[in-house]
């Protein structure tokens, strides 16, 4: 791997992944709202910022996402459902990565192995959902998983060695999870980054379109 593009490079996981790649000698391009003004939910912003990038990038890693938006956290019951909260979750956790993926065919190389990976979450798994709740966040992540699975099918037609996957990083000790990690073991961002990169290193084109956790184990849809 020679070149990597990190979307959401100012966040806990994005920063850690960028640092880990740089330590390997990989040339890292980091993009974020705070740095380059990249608003992943705004098509014009995505086109402006990514349109100026030439690539090719051996890895595009999307580390954006949010569990709590506009002061609204995960719902515990149906009575807490809000249309506005659901739309906000979709814009951030599904539409944003999808708009980045739209640029992948141009930014990924066609002549060698390359990876597009986006952070999903195990709670987005329909088959693994046994606790309920968290309607908006779960649904947005499930929709993201479908986007990545569908994108993998299209990418394979023009980029035969491309890999497009959803990744569950585990519960990482960041601002995103701080309020909701009680009772769950957490790992620091640096460790999470190393875990995720180990998974990415082991992927083959046959794994494209799938959902993996930080141990490299498949997560059911």
The pLDDT of residue 181: 55
The pLDDT of residue 173: 84
Q: What is the signed CA dihedral for 191, 168, 102, 69, rounded to 10 degrees?
A: -90
Omega before 56 cis (within 30°)?
Answer: yes
The pLDDT of residue 178: 60
Count of CB atoms situated within 10 Å of the CB of 172: 24
Q: What are the pLDDT digits (tens) for 6-31?
A: 999 999 999 999 999 999 999 999 99
- Are the C-beta atoms of residues 35 and 10 closer than 8 Å to each other? yes
- Are the C-beta atoms of residues 6 and 18 closer than 8 Å to each other? yes
**Burial of 52 by CB count in 10 Å (0-12 exposed, 13-18 middle, 19+ buried)?**
exposed
From CA 151, how far away is CA 180, in angstroms rounded?
31
From CA 205, how far away is CA 162, in angstroms rounded?
6
Query: Domains plus CATH for the chain?
Result: 3-213 (3.40.50.720)
The pLDDT of residue 174: 76
The pLDDT of residue 183: 63
182 pLDDT higher than 80: no
Q: What are the pLDDT digits (tens) for 55-73?
A: 899 999 999 999 999 989 9
Percent pLDDT > 70 in the chain is 95
From CA 57, how far away is CA 211, in angstroms rounded?
21
176 pLDDT higher than 80: no
Cα–Cα distances (Å) from 178 to 71, 102, 175, 199, 217, in that order, read: 14, 31, 5, 25, 25
Q: How many residues does the chain have?
A: 221
The pLDDT of residue 195: 96
């Amino acid at each position: 791997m020679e070149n990597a593009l990190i979307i959401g490079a100012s966040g806990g996981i994005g920063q850690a992944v960028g640092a880990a790649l740089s330590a390997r000698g990989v040339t890292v391009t980091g993009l974020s709202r705070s740095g380059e003004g990249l608003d992943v939910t705004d098509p014009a912003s995505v086109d402006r910022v990514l349109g100026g990038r030439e690539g090719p990038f051996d890895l595009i890693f999307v580390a954006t996402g949010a569990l709590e938006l506009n002061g609204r956290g995960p719902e515990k019951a149906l009575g807490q459902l809000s249309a506005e909260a659901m739309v906000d979750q979709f814009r951030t956790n599904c539409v944003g990565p999808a708009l980045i993926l739209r640029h992948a065919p141009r930014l990924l190389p066609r002549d060698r192995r390359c990876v597009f990976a986006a952070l999903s979450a195990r709670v987005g798994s329909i088959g693994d959902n046994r606790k309920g709740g968290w309607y908006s966040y779960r649904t947005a992540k499930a929709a993201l998983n479908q986007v990545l699975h569908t994108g993998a099918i299209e990418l394979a037609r023009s980029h035969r060695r491309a890999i497009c996957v959803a990744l569950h990083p585990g519960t990482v000790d960041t601002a995103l999870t701080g309020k909701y990690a009680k009772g769950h073991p957490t790992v620091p961002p640096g460790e999470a980054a190393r875990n995720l990169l180990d998974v990415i290193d082991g992927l083959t084109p046959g794994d494209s379109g799938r959902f993996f956790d930080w141990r490299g184990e498949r997560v059911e849809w």
